[in-house]
Amino acid sequence: KNQVEQSPQSLIILEGKNCTLQCNYTVSPFSNLRWYKQDTGRGPVSLTIMTFSENTKSNGRYTATLDADTKQSSLHITASQLSDSASYICVVSDRGSTLGRLYFGRGTQLTVWP
Amino acid sequence: EADIYQTPRYLVIGTGKKITLECSQTMGHDKMYWYQQDPGMELHLIHYSYGVNSTEKGDLSSESTVSRIRTEHFPLTLESARPSHTSQYLCASSHDREGTDTQYFGPGTRLTVL
């Protein structure tokens, strides 16, 4: 069964600290993996996207890694800011763009305290 | 910031009412989607469209219906709302030009049926 599991479910850190969010998936065949950020009451916004051949992708203070062999991905946030408080969702696509469908994780709820 | 809009942002209605949730995008995307999301849960695809006059049901069974008469417009209708329809509804659109079919989400409509 194609699934996307994220951990931890929630996380609280202090402003300025780093953190790492995890994503494990069983989706096959694999096409690409995205990390989205969803602020409360808003729609998700894409942070990074990685295909099978990519191991790491950065977007400012966000760095995503992908290990296609173990089917694991992580999102590392450096020097966290209050505005990083949001839900971070891992999304895996099982095929090329035309026929691909997306599998969503439940997200990690990150809270950054001052 | 993606050019995809949803109205209303919040809606509280009584049981049995007919409602239409609006979604419009100005990016010229062929593909559009409707997702349902409950708090702390993953997004579930309920409808999608690959172009004008094309609509398909998603993975999650829904009593809602959609139409795609114009490329930029993808409204969702509930003929008779019930409390079980209370949820957040997210509209998204995508294109294949980047080869990865990234979906851009609207801000969502939070529906409460009393």
B39–chain A Cβ distance below 8 A for any pair: no
Quickly state the pLDDT bin for B98 (edges 50, 70, 90).
Answer: low
A74-100: average pLDDT: 87
pLDDT for residue A76 is more than 60: yes
A37 phi/psi in degrees, rounded to 5: -110, 130
| CB < 8 Å to B59, chain A | 101
> Minimum mean pLDDT among A77-86, A98-107, B52-61, B88-97: which range?
A98-107
A43 vs B40, B99, B108: nearest CB:
B108
> Minimum mean pLDDT among A32-36, B1-5, B86-90: which range?
B1-5
Identify the pLDDT of residue B10.
96
**Are residues B90 and A44, on separate chains, in Cβ contact within 8 Å?**
yes
**Are residues B102 and A104, on separate chains, in Cβ contact within 8 Å?**
no
| CB < 8 Å to A107, chain B | 40, 42
Percentage of chain B modeled with pLDDT above 70: 94
Whole-number mean pLDDT of chain B?
91
Reported as a single tens digit per residue, the pLDDT across B17-73 is 999 999 999 999 999 999 999 988 899 999 999 999 999 998 887 889 999 999 999
Contacts of B67 (CB under 8 A, 6+ apart): B55, B74, B75, B77
B10 to chain A nearest CA, in Å?
10
Identify the pLDDT of residue B110.
96
Identify the pLDDT of residue A99.
55
State the burial class of residue B49 (Cβ atoms within 10 Å of its Cβ: 0-12, 13-18, 19+).
buried
**Are residues A105 and B103, on separate chains, in Cβ contact within 8 Å?**
no
Higher confidence at residue A108 or residue A54? A108
Identify the pLDDT of residue A101.
78
Q: Which two three-digit tokens encode residue B51? A: 């172009």
Identify the pLDDT of residue A107.
95
| CB < 8 Å to A104, chain B | 42-44
B15 to chain A nearest CA, in Å?
23
User: Which of B27, B30, B34, B43 is the best residue to mutate to test the A interface, defined by the most A CB atoms within 10 Å of its own CB?
Assistant: B43
Identify the pLDDT of residue B60.
82
DSSP result, A39-74: -TTS--EEEEEEETT--EEEETTEEEEEETTTTEEE
A67-79: average pLDDT: 96
B2 phi/psi in degrees, rounded to 5: -75, 145
